[in-house]
Structure 1
Amino acid sequence: MRETAPPPAPTAVPVADVVRDLEARFAVAGIPDPRVDAELLVGHVLQLSRGGVQAAAIRGDRMPPSAAAELLPLADRRCAREPLQHLTGVAPFRSLELAVGPGVFVPRPETEMVAQLAINALGAVASESPIAVDLGTGSGAIALAMATEVPHARVFAAENSVDAFIWTKENVARIGAENVTLAFVDLAEAFPELNGKVSVVASNPPYVPDDAIPRDPEVRLYDPPAALYGGPDGLDAVRHLSRVGLRLGHPGATLVIEHGEWQGAAIRDLLTADGWRAAATHPDLTSRDRATTAVHP
């Protein structure tokens, strides 16, 4: 009986070739930054930073067959437009790395400047232990940025989605910020013990109008609807935030709200009508209006 030769063992492929082929697949799938995503996903499998992947490609390093086998289903899922952060399990935010996945809004780079506005306001408070509140904290991004970058502050974070709250708890534990107090509570009822004591109230609320379906599949199909849609004009949550901010804040406190690029004027008018002073809208790094601040009367 003639023996059958065993199949050839898989060969290691150059990292540069893997990245190039993956970039091409991602470009065909319509992914906005295919090279970036290719390098990050390869880095996830190889446990390297993006820079480490670039260095490995330049050196001519090869990807082990086991890593290539792990990469393949992840690449298929990314081509189906599942968020990269769901595949890697983490999302970078300022100096932090946050755990994310199904059920929680993935923090975006543009929210980093919103956090910066809150951090600036909090750091300017003449108090040994200023208080800040993040309403609808989601992954905890803004709250944890304030807590780690203004470590003498006390930061309170509220979330009312069970699915998101699981991720919030994980990130508070992951970062180990002992100056964060987390509560599972509706926005309107959050932290009555802090009434009139808060220096900064920050939020990235749902602000997409109900009939404005997001263009990107990553947002439309994977971000939780409760974190996206804010009523017919997208401002239902902002109206609540204005009232809650007036309850929580002391005179001179700062309110920081993220919003869509076309909503600045409407939000300034809303806040001014409620009694807030000095409402101002701020652009992000792409020059799109991204956040509005106001001062407690």
Structure 2
Amino acid sequence: MKRQPLRLAILEATRILDQAGVASPRTDAELIAAHVLGVERGRLPLVPLVDPSVVEAIGQLVSQRAKRVPLQHLTGWAALGDITVSVGTGVFVPRPETELLLEWGVKLLKGREYPVVVDLCTGSGALALAVAHARPDAVVYAVDNDTNALAWARHNADARTAAGDTPIRLYSGDVTDPTVFAELDGLVDLVLCNPPYVPEGTPVPPEVADHDPPQAVFAAEGGIDVIRHVVATAARLLRPGGGVAIEHDDTHGAAVPALLRARRVLTDVRDHPDLTGRPRFVTALRG
């Protein structure tokens, strides 16, 4: 059978995804094609012609994406920092916005030997594993209260250890428990958290509504219920000079920094925008 131009297959995929309301149709079409071909997205121009079977495989995944199945569920992975983690049903998919929070945390650790890091609400383990990859000397703890998420995190942690990264210490626990990681009180250099923070009842895209676990997305009290507990936990875990970074909803640009400022031991509270300029995460240092 005659080989076909990959460019035309990507154009058709882009048209279908655009009509389906996918936010980034061209990007998703190219990533699907790259996944099917087993190449990096940037190398697609080096593959001008493909077999009909490749076009068919791309079309099958595009039809799933047009139904708003998350791209990461179709490819089986999501990226954060310099690593990828496996994701799928039952675990929250890491978002690009969290890259900035990760960068802040890794920068804070510069010059500190053998830092102790805690990732609260770890989900897939992406944040904890990205830090462990960036800082092989770090002792990284991660916790979640969801058994499905922990299964994904354990799978990802095992994969990263097999790839040569320093193992993380993964625990089942709840950030609303005032004794979680009590043995680390006053010893932690960095606390990171991407908690559930979307206010209950907020309309969200089908990729989130139908595929992300609700308990990893939504929170009571206008979205800050879990964050309240995270702030309290961070305040007791951090050593002097340690830092905390917490992701939040774009409606929380005033409310969440106020929670941190209310803690006398926390100083230098700052809010940071995401890639689109919206308020997205807050940071503070332990005085």
Please state which band the TM-score falls in when normalised by the shorter chain: over 0.9
| Match 1:289 to one of 255, 260, 279 | 279
**Counterpart-to-counterpart distance in 1, 2:126 and 2:167:** 14
Q: What is the match of residue 246 of structure 2?
A: 257
1:278 to 2:268 alignment: yes
For 1:72, give the aligned amino acid: G
Aligned 1:161-240 pairs, distance under 5 A: 161-176=146-161, 177-187=165-175, 188=177, 189-214=179-204, 216-240=205-229
Q: What is the match of residue 87 of structure 1?
A: 74
Structure 2 spans left out of the alignment, 5+ residues:
none
- Alignment partner of 2:254: what SS? helix
**Counterpart-to-counterpart distance in 1, 2:110 and 2:159:** 24
Structure 1 spans left out of the alignment, 5+ residues:
1-9
Identity %: 39
- The CA deviation string for residues 23-78 of structure 1, in whole angstroms up to 9 with x for no partner, is 1111111111111111111111111111122321xxx322x233333333322110
For 2:251, give the aligned amino acid: W
Q: How far off its partner does 1:296 sit?
A: 2.0
Aligned 1:51-62 pairs, distance under 5 A: 51-56=42-47, 60-62=48-50
**Counterpart-to-counterpart distance in 2, 1:211 and 1:97:** 31
- The CA deviation string for residues 94-130 of structure 1, in whole angstroms up to 9 with x for no partner, is 21111111111111111000111111112243xx311
Q: What is the match of residue 72 of structure 1?
A: 59
Q: Give the aligned CA root-mean-square deviation in angstroms.
A: 1.5
**Counterpart-to-counterpart distance in 2, 1:179 and 1:120:** 21
- Alignment partner of 1:233: what SS? helix
Would you say the 8 A contact 2:136–2:166 is kept in 1?
Answer: no
Would you say the 8 A contact 2:83–2:133 is kept in 1?
Answer: no
Q: How far off its partner does 1:11 sit?
A: 4.1
**Counterpart-to-counterpart distance in 2, 1:264 and 1:242:** 15
- Alignment partner of 1:40: what SS? helix
**Counterpart-to-counterpart distance in 2, 1:208 and 1:285:** 18
Structure 1 runs, 4 residues or longer, greater than 3 Å off: none
**Counterpart-to-counterpart distance in 2, 1:263 and 1:121:** 23
**Counterpart-to-counterpart distance in 1, 2:19 and 2:199:** 30
Q: How far off its partner does 1:290 sit?
A: 1.4
Q: What is the match of residue 12 of structure 1?
A: 3
- Alignment partner of 1:256: what SS? strand
Q: What is the match of residue 101 of structure 2?
A: 114
Aligned residues: 281
- Alignment partner of 2:197: what SS? coil
Q: How far off its partner does 1:179 sit?
A: 4.2
TM-score (norm 2): 0.93
- Alignment partner of 2:203: what SS? coil
- Alignment partner of 1:279: what SS? strand
Q: Is 186-195 or 93-102 further displaced after alignment?
A: 186-195
1:38 to 2:25 alignment: no
